[in-house]
Structure 1
Amino acid sequence: MARLVIVSNRVTSPKERAAKAGGLAVALREALGKRGGLWFGWSGETEVGASAEPKVFRSGRITYGLLTLDPEDQRAHYAGYANGTLWPLCHYRLGLVSFRRADWEGYRRVNEHFARALLPMLKPDDIIWVHDYHLIPLASELRKLGFEGRIGYFHHIPWPTPAVYLSLPSHAALVQDLSQYDLVGLQTESDVRALLTYISSEVRGWLAPGGFVTLGPRRFRVAAYPIGIDAEAFVEDARAAVGSEEMKRLHASLAGRALAVGVDRLDYSKGLPNKFAAFGELLKSWPEHRSTVTMMQIAPVSRGEVAEYRSLRRELEELAGSINGEYAEFDWVPLRYLNRPFQRATLAAIYRTARIGLVTPLRDGMNLVAKEYVAAQDPKDPGVLVLSRFAGAVDEMSGALIINPYDVEGMAEALHTALLMPLEERRERWRANMDKVESNTIHHWCEHFISELATANETAPDPLPPQYQASRA
């Protein structure tokens, strides 16, 4: 069996507990633990003139390779191009896109640094799986150094439509980088259509059934692999939460009121101001819900050094204060706004208690909170998932109440509907969602991608069109 090599911008420490590490990290570690393999990425440390020699150690069957970066290269790569350019672009926030050639060059230098450090650790038959937008050029850099083995890439965030993507000055170069992979995985079929439309219309790639692409001398495949959660573990956490001290405290604080919960990073892509406004609109338009429902928004601070994020935090604090100031009673605070993370067991208790799971991103690759909320529900008395049509999870969560996060009044109406929904309808909707959560877990996702990467291009259709036959002759 070929060795699996996983490359990510950051590597989760083998000492980090599963409840803290998150589902993706746990699944990747599990995949490597079963097969044996290498996990390579940035250590989180910077040093001027950083060496290309990674720190290497072993834990169980997994070898870890941790790379130090030059501080200016790290800034240009991470804060500059990856999160100042690609993140807002892929989330359709063109007004927030900042493109500087120096950041683009730093982004490429870091990917070259990764490739040079990784290459001596590779074996010819290794299968390499690269994760996310920080490392799109990595395959291109490895090919330049002579690596010819299988390389796959998974893009965890949305892929923008051609009209949006064309606003990126480096758009063609990035797609040429993608062509150096054997398999490119995206979250949804709409993401796949967006990328393939760009390739066929803008860079003259040839498309074949099954997502196969020929671009110049390279042939690769683009396909959707919607990511899941560790459903069994989340169900167990939710069951274990029943009767826990956390759940007792939560129930006591609610005093019999219904709970609507949102859990999001503090990020402009999550639609938090509109979510707060919708809750305020619910209390305004349907006064009968005053003092009968509480909204809890958990929003751990993300990239607090970035001006847009600091501004968002101030806006949300003002909105929360305004709603509470207008509607609060001496024994009821309508909106609880929390800026810190919670352990998975605590979140499971909150989800299980909540009558409504409110997931309202303006754009999201998948949004696993939607699936976690569903998995945590009591099958006998489940809550209702209210879900943005712009979250990737909407393709699978057919039992959710689907909302447009730009329509504040429509979201308020969906909250009203959810609060009044009969038990039988709640059960039917939950069952439809849970079937998907259980059939497409994080473990199935991981195994599916790796197995298809191992056989990438073996089932590619022939013949090629004449212009490409000549290039391969």
Structure 2
Amino acid sequence: MSRLVVVSNRIADPRKTAAGGLAVALAEVLNGTGGLWFGWSGKIVDATEGDDVHFMQAGPVKLATVDLSQVDHDDFYLGYSNGVLWPVFHYRLDLADFDAGYIAGYRRVNQLFARKLMPLLQPDDVIWVHDYHLIPLAAELRALGCQQRIGFFLHIPLPPPLIVAAIPGHDWLIRALFAYDLVGFQSQADLAHFAGYVESEAHAQPLGDGRWRAFGRTVHAGAFPIGIDVEEFTQLTQAPEAMEMYERMKREYSRRRLLVGVDRLDYSKGLPQRMRAFREFLQKNPDLRSSATLIQIASPSREDVEAYSDLLHELESLCGSINGNFGELDWMPVRYIHRTVARARLPGLFRASQVALVTPLRDGMNLVAKEYLTAQDEEDPGVLVLSRFAGAAEQLREALLVNPYDTEGTAAAILLALQMPLEERRLRHQAMMKTIRQYDVHWWCDSFLNALQEAQAEEKGTSWLRL
């Protein structure tokens, strides 16, 4: 079996499931092949300290990291990755900083990663590159003579061609994807946007079976929606911390019906729109006011960036206004928590909640939706209210799908969720859990790597030297 080499902006110890979904997904195959995981160390160092590779052994897996200088971090990570690509890929052209010249730093760090990774590679390695930070990495590796099979997975959405085309140098960015043998997306919609772009902007020739030819190469592309580890999350739901949280929530809210939202504080998550919809629900249903409480967790994220600080202030103002206008001495409609809640406690909160509001304006997948459903009591499950603009909506059709921009429509869905009969809740939950179990995180990993093994790059030239 070929060794798997994973490359991502940040790495995690695959032995620790608390490290996150990517580590859980990759642990089995990395451990099985004695794999290598390469990425940024998370450290910012003085430019004079060098760029040596640091190694750590995690069982059979080797972790290899490089440090970044302050300039490289600011240009590559804060600047181009999160100041240009993140907002544009989430359809927010108005928040993209196109004029700051970050692209040079983005290319520079991808070249650094390629230079440092190249000597570590073995001839039969299979390389899997992750996410928007590293789109040009394969092109940089090819320029150094890399002939190994390389796959790329985009964890965030890919917008329609005309939005992509708003990025200065967009042709260079998408051309870089043709250095990969396989490009994976979260949804069929993202795949369609890729096809539309490469055919209209890059004049790529569609070859059928998910293949396109341009720039002297053939790339395979497909939709591989990421899942969760259902067994692991079920065990987490039954663990003491989660059970304690569940029992406490049931005691404290014995006279209330709980709604829950768990998100990073990010403008893509639609948090102000969600609060306005909940306010609309309270206004139109005065008889339900004292019986429904929304617990909204918004984990801190990039609060030194103006767009995020503005969002924080808007959300705090909305929550305060709702509580001030509708609250009673013994009831507050919104419990707003602006901190990170331990992952081990979340399943208990999910299980105690009758409704989950997962209403992003745009999301690649959104695994909170799948985790909420997995935590439910199958005999008395809660209801998922899900944005149609989340990647998960393609799979979870039995959820109450909403347009988060439609305040009245979302408010109506909240009412419908709270009043849904038990039998309907069971049928919807059973259907969605069947999908979640079938397309779990192990299916995601296996299906992508199997497709990468089968992908055949027809030419492996050196045209990437002038990318």
TM-score by length of 2: 0.95
Kindly report which structure 2 residues correspond to 1:241-256, keeping only aligned pairs within 5 A, or say none: 244-256=243-255
Does the 8 Å contact 1:187/1:225 carry over to 2? yes
Partner residue of 2:90? Answer: 91
Inter-partner Cα distance in structure 2 for 1:164 and 1:141: 25
Does the 8 Å contact 2:322/2:334 carry over to 1? yes
The residue identity in structure 2 corresponding to 1:414 is A
Q: Deviation at 1:241? A: 5.7
Change (3 A) 1:101 1:246: closer
Inter-partner Cα distance in structure 1 for 2:323 and 2:90: 30
Partner residue of 2:378? Answer: 379
Instruction: Find the partner of 1:29 among 24, 27, 30.
Output: 27
Partner residue of 2:6? Answer: 6
Query: For structure 1, which segment, 440-449 or 51-60, has the greater mean C-alpha deviation from structure 2 after superposition?
Result: 51-60
SS of the residue corresponding to residue 291 of structure 1 reads helix
Inter-partner Cα distance in structure 2 for 1:2 and 1:309: 43
Gaps of 5+ in 1: 461-473
Kindly report which structure 2 residues correspond to 1:56-455, keeping only aligned pairs within 5 A, or say none: 56-100=55-99, 102-240=101-239, 244-455=243-454
Does the 8 Å contact 1:303/1:309 carry over to 2? yes
TM-score by length of 1: 0.94
Inter-partner Cα distance in structure 2 for 1:240 and 1:418: 28
SS of the residue corresponding to residue 222 of structure 1 reads strand
Inter-partner Cα distance in structure 1 for 2:308 and 2:194: 29
Partner residue of 2:461? Answer: none
The residue identity in structure 1 corresponding to 2:286 is P
SS of the residue corresponding to residue 85 of structure 1 reads helix
The residue identity in structure 2 corresponding to 1:360 is T
Does the 8 Å contact 2:237/2:243 carry over to 1? no
Inter-partner Cα distance in structure 1 for 2:343 and 2:43: 27
Q: Is 1:42 paired with 2:40?
A: yes
Q: Deviation at 1:53? A: 2.2
The residue identity in structure 1 corresponding to 2:86 is W
Partner residue of 1:468? Answer: none
Inter-partner Cα distance in structure 1 for 2:316 and 2:241: 32
Query: For structure 1, which segment, 314-323 or 237-246, has the greater mean C-alpha deviation from structure 2 after superposition?
Result: 237-246
SS of the residue corresponding to residue 39 of structure 1 reads strand
Change (3 A) 1:239 1:57: closer
Q: Deviation at 1:210? A: 1.5
Q: Which runs of 4+ in 1 moved over 6 A?
A: none
The residue identity in structure 2 corresponding to 1:44 is G
Change (3 A) 1:101 1:281: closer
Q: Deviation at 1:98? A: 0.8
The residue identity in structure 1 corresponding to 2:335 is R
Query: For structure 1, which segment, 242-251 or 419-428, has the greater mean C-alpha deviation from structure 2 after superposition?
Result: 242-251
Inter-partner Cα distance in structure 1 for 2:410 and 2:373: 19
Does the 8 Å contact 1:235/1:375 carry over to 2? yes
The residue identity in structure 2 corresponding to 1:86 is L
Q: Deviation at 1:220? A: 1.1
Q: Deviation at 1:268? A: 0.1
The residue identity in structure 2 corresponding to 1:38 is L
Inter-partner Cα distance in structure 1 for 2:5 and 2:241: 39
Inter-partner Cα distance in structure 2 for 1:102 and 1:117: 24
Residue-by-residue CA offset, 1:277-305 (whole Å, 9 max, x unaligned): 11111110011111111001111011111
Q: Deviation at 1:14? A: 5.6
Does the 8 Å contact 1:46/1:69 carry over to 2? yes
SS of the residue corresponding to residue 445 of structure 1 reads helix
The residue identity in structure 2 corresponding to 1:277 is R
What is the identity percentage for the equivalent residue pairs of Structure 1 and Structure 2?
Answer: 49
Partner residue of 1:467? Answer: none
The residue identity in structure 1 corresponding to 2:349 is I
Inter-partner Cα distance in structure 2 for 1:134 and 1:326: 43
SS of the residue corresponding to residue 371 of structure 1 reads helix
Q: Deviation at 1:243? A: 8.5
The residue identity in structure 1 corresponding to 2:37 is W
The residue identity in structure 2 corresponding to 1:380 is E
Gaps of 5+ in 2: 459-467
Q: Deviation at 1:30? A: 2.7
Aligned residues: 457
Q: Deviation at 1:24? A: 1.8
SS of the residue corresponding to residue 344 of structure 2 reads helix
Inter-partner Cα distance in structure 1 for 2:58 and 2:319: 46
Inter-partner Cα distance in structure 1 for 2:245 and 2:185: 37
Does the 8 Å contact 1:183/1:222 carry over to 2? yes
Inter-partner Cα distance in structure 2 for 1:320 and 1:372: 25
Does the 8 Å contact 1:206/1:214 carry over to 2? yes
The residue identity in structure 2 corresponding to 1:201 is S
Inter-partner Cα distance in structure 2 for 1:68 and 1:342: 29
Partner residue of 1:471? Answer: none
Inter-partner Cα distance in structure 2 for 1:243 and 1:414: 28
SS of the residue corresponding to residue 84 of structure 1 reads helix
Inter-partner Cα distance in structure 1 for 2:80 and 2:399: 35
